[in-house]
């Protein structure tokens, strides 16, 4: 699936496409979403949109100082009968590997347990730095900066 968005708001709304277009039922552990793209490409903006969709009220910023942040999913009533409910996800983790040199730094954060738990959604910025921890079945989203307000976003 390829999308061209012309504003941050349009990128935030792509969460809907992701949830509706993909099947998560057969997964063994957490839903893992790898977000690729340069600085400013829109990865964090996308996370903000998905978090809003999942009823997370906290403001999501790039976890610059903390490598990883955890949020509680609180599905809005109107979404509880939709596919989102099937996901049964309870926690969203936002991981930013920009400052990371080695995937081993993630082990102390308990990444193995986070990945094992089916109740988790794990969004990873700069996933190419932690390839070794990515499960075989993960979703890849690639963000391309086209111009000031335009981004090309490919969901694989
Ligand atoms: P990243 O996490 O990939 O470094 P951010 O999401 O933090 O990127 O930043 C993207 C920046 O680009 C934000 O300042 C956002 O307002 C701006 N922007 C402009 N147009 C778009 C768009 N179509 N989609 C996403 N962000 C956009
Ligand atoms: Mg970011």
pLDDT digits (tens, 9 = 90+) for 101-143: 888 889 888 999 999 999 999 999 999 999 999 999 899 999 9
Average confidence (pLDDT) over 53-57:
91
Nearest to 84 by CA among 132, 15, 154: 15
User: Which residue(s) pair with 45 in the sheet?
Assistant: none
Predicted model pTM: 0.94
Q: How large is the greatest C-alpha to C-alpha distance in the chain, in angstroms? A: 42
Nearest CA to ligand 1 atom 14: 40
- Whether 48 lines ligand 1, by a CB cut-off of 6 Å, is no
Task: Give the three-class secondary structure for 21.
Answer: helix
- The angle subtended at Cα 38 by Cα 73 and Cα 63, nearest 5°, is 40
CA distance linking residue 121 with residue 56, whole number of Å: 13
In terms of residues, how long is the chain? 156
**pLDDT value at 39 more than 80:** yes
Residue of 39, 42, 128, 144 with the most ligand 1 atoms within 8 Å of its CB, for mutation: 42
109 versus 36: the higher-pLDDT residue is: 36
CA distance linking residue 140 with residue 30, whole number of Å: 14
pLDDT value at residue 81: 67
**pLDDT value at 25 more than 70:** no
Nearest CA to ligand 1 atom 19: 149
- Whether 41 lines ligand 1, by a CB cut-off of 6 Å, is yes
């Amino acid at each position: 699936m390829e999308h061209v968005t012309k504003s941050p708001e349009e990128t935030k709304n792509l969460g809907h496409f992701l949830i509706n277009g993909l099947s998560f039922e057969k997964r063994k552990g957490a839903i893992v979403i790898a977000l690729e793209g340069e600085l400013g490409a829109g990865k964090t903006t996308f996370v903000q949109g998905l978090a809003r969709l999942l009823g997370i009220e906290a403001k999501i910023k790039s976890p610059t100082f903390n490598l990883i942040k955890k949020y509680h999913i609180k599905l809005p009533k109107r979404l509880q009968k939709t596919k989102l409910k099937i996901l049964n996800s309870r926690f969203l983790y936002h991981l930013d590997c920009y400052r990371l040199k080695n995937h081993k730094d993630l082990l102390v954060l308990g990444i193995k347990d986070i990945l094992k738990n089916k109740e988790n959604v794990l969004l990873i910025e700069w996933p190419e730095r932690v390839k070794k921890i990515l499960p075989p079945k993960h979703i890849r989203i690639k963000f391309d900066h086209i111009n000031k307000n335009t981004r090309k976003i490919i969901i694989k």
